[in-house]
Structure formats: structure tokens, C-alpha cells
Structure 1
Amino acid sequence: MGLPLLGLGVGLGLSGCDGKGLNPLTPEAPKFNGVDITGAEYAKALSLTDPEGKRRSLAEFKGKVVVVFFGFTQCPDVCPTTMAELAEVRRRLGADGQRVQGVFVTVDPERDTAQVLGEYVKALDPSFIGLRGSVEEVTQAARDFKVFFQKVPSKDGKSYTMDHTAGSYVFDPQGKVRLFVRYGIGVDAWVADVQQLLKEPAAKA
């Protein structure tokens, strides 16, 4: 059912994070609602294929706040709720919403074909991008982001669902990972964090 396995991604390397910045001696450090993972040595790159067959990477979105979420289109709750909240964040930000990029990576490429994935993300927000790859490529991408997922067969064995880490990775305008946002944080908290990141300088050309 796409269970919200909170902490399975963050817990692998972020024990002790309090969401208040990594350096407690720096009073000017921004305070976020999401978990501050500034300086993390993972979630640095992502290269998969969009529904049109084009290879996409995080580097092309520098200058924007990018939100990366791993999920699957048949998820009944966590995935659509998370992406719908992000779409609402973009709406609330007005013109600044154009500088927020949602990226949905499917952990179920066997069922999430290019067509299915493309229709799914566009229905949530026309600006969102869906990414997919082979099972091996997706597994490697998830590993690079410390994201957990696994196939869970139905009781009759005729189908399956996916359990997965229920959280989003947020990158600043310079393309650096800054936050892990747990499922259920709420739109107001999302907006506050994104607004802070949008104030930071973009990457130099």
C-alpha cells in the first residue's frame, strides 16, 4: 500500500540530525521544518529517462528548488498526497512557483510505463517530470539517495504493491541537497522551507 516507511532513507546516515542545521555553533544557520541534511555525501546526482525517452539529470535544473520523490503511480496515499502538496506549494508561491521543480522517480518501472508515468505526473502538475529506468537503474538511483523500496506480493500472489521511503529530497538553487522532508509535514511547512531556499543564490553560469 505504499506504507510511509519514515526514516528508512534518512536513518541510514542522519542519526542525530535535529532539523536545525548541521552546525549548532552557527547562529545564522537557517532553521527548516524539514530535516536539514546540508553537506550530505549522498543524493548528489540523478540520471534517468523521462516519459519522452530523454535522459534527464539534476544539473539541468540549477537555479530552481528541486524536489525529488521516489514512489509509484499505483500508490493509494503517500505518493499522490505528497505530489499534490507540492503542486499546492507552487500555486501558493505565485510567480516564484515557476522556480520549483517536482521530480517523481518511479520505483515500479515494470508497471509504470512511459505513458502511464507521463500521464500521472502531468495530471498532478503540468510542470512535474516523471523519471524511470530499468529495475537495475532505479535500484542504483534509490541506493544513491538512501531510499528503501521493495515489492510486496498480494495475498493471492497475483499482484503486488510497493513499500518505499516516504519522504522527499529538496535541492537548493545551486543544485545541492539540503533537506529531507518527511511525509505529512503539511503545505504551510513546505512553503516556508521552499521560500527560504529560493532566497539563496543560484549557481553561477
Structure 2
Amino acid sequence: MVRIAAIVAVFVAGVALLGMVFLSRGGGDDQFASCGAGAVAGDLGGPFTLVNGDGQTVTSAEVITEPTLIYFGYTYCPDVCPLDVDRNAAAVEILEARGQSVKPVFITIDPARDTPEVVRDFAEAMHPRMVGLTGSDEQIAEASKAYRTYYSAHPAVDGEYLVDHSTFSYLVTPEHGFVEFFRRELTPEQLADKVGCFIDQI
């Protein structure tokens, strides 16, 4: 019952986030128009300062050194996050086989439990090149705000709790910043095709 409630909450959060974003198919001189890029109302993405798996403070400029696929979640997530992050890792592997390099990044929204060591081990288990990031509550909130993600922790029961959160993945490049976001319904192959299209236009 708890898992059902959590899934419903995640869906509602996703719908709420979509309500904040205005989509229109690009055209004209938009270099990504052929990839079906959405025009986002207002700025999305931006600089952040977080902590990597080695406990080092890093900036977004140090993390986003190539096309990067970012996902916000938490390692204690019972089902949604592992599936989404695994999907992203599979898409990255498909792209690698095609000769396209994309860096997978996981940013926790549960820094109280997701220490540098925890996010490092989680990221390494998902993909050898995945970067796991955590930080202070304030640092996580700032990164989340930049990407307009949603998260809200449930009250703890015996020290355990779930966190409702949005489930989009974000493609970001050093040259262009935020490029596009992707829904979790995409398969690894579909995600790889979409991300690959954008990389071809860079």
C-alpha cells in the first residue's frame, strides 16, 4: 500500500511539474528543432555546487564536461529511482556503442541518508562512469530549484521514510546548458535515440 501511494505521489508530482513547463516544437533557427526540442518557459538548469563521492566539493562546470544526463532521486527509493537510473545507464551504453559519449549523473534529494560514500557506491553499481552527487540541504535545494524538480519527504517511521519526487532526466551540455528533459516512460533505446539526435546537432 505504501508503494502504491508513493507511485501515485510521484505521478502527481510529475504532472505538477509539467504544468510549470510550456512545450512547443522548435523551428526556425533552433539548431535542435529536428530533434523535437521543447521550448521551456523561463530558464531551466543552471550552476550548482555539490559534493561528489570522494567528499570533494565540485561545481556544475567541473561535472558537466561533456553531454550529461542528470537524474534527481535517492538511493533508498524502493522502485522508481533504481529503474530510472538503470534505464539511463542502459541508454548511455547504447550511445557508447554508437560512438557517442554521455556522462550519467545522479543527484540525491535525500542528503541526510545519501552520504558521499552512499552515492558513490550507488553510482558505481549503476554505471562505471556515473557520477554520484550529494551535499548539504541548502546545496541540494539550490540544484533542485535550478532544474525545477520536486521532492518532499514523508514523516519518518522507525527511522525509515519515503521521498516523493519528480522523475525527469535532463540533458545538459557545457556549451548550451540545459538542452532537453525526458520522461521516465521512454525505453533505453528510445532515450538513446533522442539524446543521440541532440548530440549530433552540437
Figure out how many residues of one structure are paired with residues of the other and give that number. 193
Seen in structure 2, the aligned counterparts of structure 1 residues 61 and 96 have a Cα distance that, compared at 3 Å, is farther
> How much has 1:187 moved relative to structure 2?
1.4
Q: Which residue of 2 aligns with 1:56?
A: 58
**CA positional deviation for 1:82:** 1.4
State the secondary structure of the residue aligned to 1:90: helix
**Structure 1: where are the runs of 5+ without partners?**
none
Identity %: 25
More helix by share: 2
**Cα contact 1:40–1:177 (8 A) shared by 2:** no
State the distance in 1 between where 2:197 and 2:65 align.
14
CA shift digits 1:156-198 (9 cap, x unpaired): 4642110001111111352421111111211122111111122
Aligned partner of 1:6 among 14, 36, 39: 14
The question of 1:100 aligning with 2:89 is answered no
Matched, 1:164 2:172: no
Pairwise CA distance, 1:96: 5.1
In 1, are the aligned partners of 2:67 and 2:173 still within 8 Å (CA)?
yes
On the 8 A contact 2:95/2:101 being kept in 1, the answer is: no
- Alignment CA distance shift 1:66-1:38 (3 Å): farther
Structure 2's unaligned 5+ residue stretches are 1-5
Per the alignment, do residues 131 and 183 of structure 1 end up closer, same or farther by CA in structure 2, a change over 3 Å counting?
A: same
2:76 is matched with which residue: 74, 79, 99? 74
User: Are the equivalent residues in 2 in contact too, given 1:167–1:181 (CA < 8 A)?
Assistant: yes
Q: RCO (CA 8 Å, sep 6+): is it higher in 1 or 2?
A: 1
Give the conservation status (yes or no) of the 8 Å contact 2:74–2:108.
yes
Q: Matched residue of 2:195: which SS?
A: helix
1:109-147 CA-to-partner distances (Å, cap 9, x unmatched) read: 001111111100100001001111111211121112111
The normalised TM-score by structure 2 is 0.83
Give the TM-score of the pair, scaled to structure 1: 0.82
